[in-house]
């Protein structure tokens, strides 16, 4: 039975802290195909792949590779036997070069020394095969998130794997880079590689998939040929109900000007230049732009996480000092960062710590000791309000799915009762059902008078939940448009407005 499949997974079960997260899950991958694995956050997709890859040990169930039963003891064992995985959260050595990261643990040697020339040539050959234009000698901390993602994909390919798992590979890629990835996948398919593709972006699923398997709450729901599926059918399989609208109604009503930003410029590259705009109470202001446009740098500058060269920030007409994140928090700002793993979570700490850390001063009594009961109560309330899937508040946050980690971070900032929320890619790597919940949360906060800035690379998201969209191009504001009166074409044209003679922006 298993010989007809390149990879076969049969009746896999896995529990954490007594909670069963995989319940007799099956998956069959054919050689030379792209098999998409879908499901809401917490459905068990990443857990299943980590069991395959030897990161977790399943409680029961079997794996077959080319008809032979196997159980990988660790990721190195998996890589050596032809199974490679690109994780949703990048885990790289940022102080080392691209070449070092790709060949780490298997350096080519000449005698007792690393053969740097061979390593460089092998990396260049790999990049030429995949049409990636990067210098192998570049240190990873000099690259954008999207470029680092492409390096990780190239590393997976470098193992000559029979099976490659791509977990949310396009979450930080531009449209051009997504097309590059799809071209790489076509090359691999033609070579007979089986690709497991995990993504929440429906358009991509229909573009690249041959088959789709859906998990829901740890259960196997079904596998279908992509030709037999519609977006509505997939969503129904994922959430167990019809999802009529992708976005909630925009019921917030922007009021008076709340924040005014004048001539904001940063001191160090990548720079933003002379950013000016107003933000109203109860408004959701979107920020659009290509990679390298300065969107993240702009919100980090507002939050005091980047050194300003010029600029003033006014709240209700009064100038404020946001020269550090601490001062920004005191001025009732909150920043949800783009890179959840690197700058968002405390992975070895539990949900209680991650939920309360930004508001820790409010949990101290007069003697300076923490009030444990209040911390627990607030955490339990956030778990309930945000619908976070977890056994309890004591669970380590790293054990949660990416979407549930994101909910914890949003809940953390809500406990500080901010007036201005800066949300950088708030739904990155989150499924369609959880996205709707976060959209509803954002709109409800705006209805309560909160002023919100949403940076997003997903055009439908910006058009679906914002009142206005500020477009950035090469560090400058190229235009501000009313969401209900604009088009994707207008926004793209504004995004390209200042791209002349720049190497940073990528189309």
pTM as predicted:
0.62
C-alpha–C-alpha distance, residues 397 and 274, integer Å:
39
Mark out the alpha helices in 303-401 (DSSP H runs): 325-330, 340-343, 351-356, 372-385
pLDDT band at 231 (very low <50, low <70, confident <90, very high): confident
- For residue 118, with 0-12 CB atoms within 10 Å meaning exposed, 13-18 middle and 19 or more buried, which class applies? middle
pLDDT tens-digit series, residues 285-302: 999 987 778 999 999 999
Distance of alpha carbon 441 from alpha carbon 465, whole angstroms: 11
**For 246-344, where are the E strands, in sequence order?**
257-266, 275-280, 284-288, 308-315, 318-320, 333-336
The token duo for 200 is 């929440």
State the pLDDT confidence band at 241, using cuts at 50, 70 and 90.
low
SS3 334: strand
pLDDT at 162 over 60: yes
Q: At what angle do helices 145-158 and 175-190 cross, to 10 degrees?
A: 0
In the chain, what percentage of residues exceed pLDDT 90? 47
The DSSP element (H or E) to which 216 belongs, if any, is: strand 211-216
Pairing state of beta strands 83-86 and 163-167?
parallel
Residue 341: per-residue pLDDT: 67
pLDDT single digits (tens) 176-187:
778 888 888 998
Among 169, 167, 163, which Cα is nearest to 182's? Answer: 169
**CA dist., res. 472 & res. 466, Å (int):** 16
Please report the domains of the chain, with CATH numbers, ordered by start residue. 2-239 (3.40.50.300), 252-332+420-507 (3.40.50.300), 336-417 (no CATH)
pLDDT in tens, 336-372: 887 766 677 888 899 999 999 888 888 888 888 888 8
């Amino acid at each position: 039975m298993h010989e007809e499949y390149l990879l076969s997974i049969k009746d896999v079960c896995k529990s954490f802290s007594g909670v069963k997260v995989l319940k007799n899950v099956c998956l069959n991958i054919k050689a030379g195909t792209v098999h998409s694995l879908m499901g809401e956050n917490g459905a068990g997709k990443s857990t299943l792949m980590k069991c395959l890859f030897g990161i977790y040990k399943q409680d029961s169930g079997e794996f077959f590779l080319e008809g032979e039963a196997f159980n990988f003891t660790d990721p190195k064992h998996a890589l050596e036997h032809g199974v490679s995985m690109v994780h949703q959260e990048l885990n790289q050595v940022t102080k080392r070069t691209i070449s070092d990261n790709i060949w780490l643990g298997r350096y080519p040697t000449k005698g007792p020394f690393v053969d740097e020339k061979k390593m460089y040539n092998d990396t260049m050959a790999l990049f030429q095969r995949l049409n990636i234009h990067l210098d192998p000698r570049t240190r990873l901390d000099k690259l954008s998130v999207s470029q680092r993602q492409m390096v990780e994909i190239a590393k997976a390919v470098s193992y000559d794997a029979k099976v490659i798992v791509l977990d949310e590979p396009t979450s930080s890629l531009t449209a051009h880079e997504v097309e590059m990835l799809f071209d790489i996948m076509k090359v691999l398919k033609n070579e007979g590689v089986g690709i497991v593709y995990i993504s929440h972006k429906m358009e991509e699923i229909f573009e690249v998939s041959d088959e789709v398997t859906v998990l829901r709450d740890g259960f196997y729901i079904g596998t279908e040929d992509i030709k037999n599926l519609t977006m509505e059918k997939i969503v129904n399989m994922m959430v167990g109900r019809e999802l009529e609208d992708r976005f909630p109604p925009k019921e917030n009503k922007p009021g008076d000007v709340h924040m005014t930003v004048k001539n904001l410029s940063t001191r160090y590259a990548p720079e933003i230049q002379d950013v000016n705009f107003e933000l109203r109470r109860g408004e959701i202001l979107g920020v659009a732009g290509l990679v390298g446009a300065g969107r993240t740098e702009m919100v980090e500058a507002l939050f005091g996480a980047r050194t300003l060269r010029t600029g003033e920030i006014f709240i209700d007409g009064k100038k404020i000092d946001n020269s550090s994140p601490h001062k920004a928090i005191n001025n009732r700002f909150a920043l949800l960062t783009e890179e959840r793993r690197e700058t968002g979570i405390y992975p070895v700490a539990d949900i209680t710590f991650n939920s309360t850390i930004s508001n820790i001063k409010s949990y101290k009594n007069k003697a300076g000791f923490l009030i444990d009961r209040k911390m627990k109560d607030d955490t339990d309330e956030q778990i309930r309000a945000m619908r976070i899937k977890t056994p309890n508040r004591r669970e380590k946050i790293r054990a949660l799915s990416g979407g549930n980690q994101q909910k914890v971070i949003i809940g953390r900032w809500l406990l500080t009762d901010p007036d201005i929320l800066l949300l950088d890619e708030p739904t990155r790597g989150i499924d369609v059902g959880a996205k709707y919940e976060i959209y509803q949360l954002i709109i409800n906060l705006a209805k309560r008078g909160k002023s919100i800035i949403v940076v997003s690379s997903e055009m439908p998201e910006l058009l679906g939940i914002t009142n206005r969209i500020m477009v950035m191009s090469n560090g400058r504001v190229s235009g501000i448009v009313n969401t209900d009166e604009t088009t994707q074409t207008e926004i793209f044209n504004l995004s390209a407005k200042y791209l002349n003679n720049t190497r940073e922006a990528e189309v």
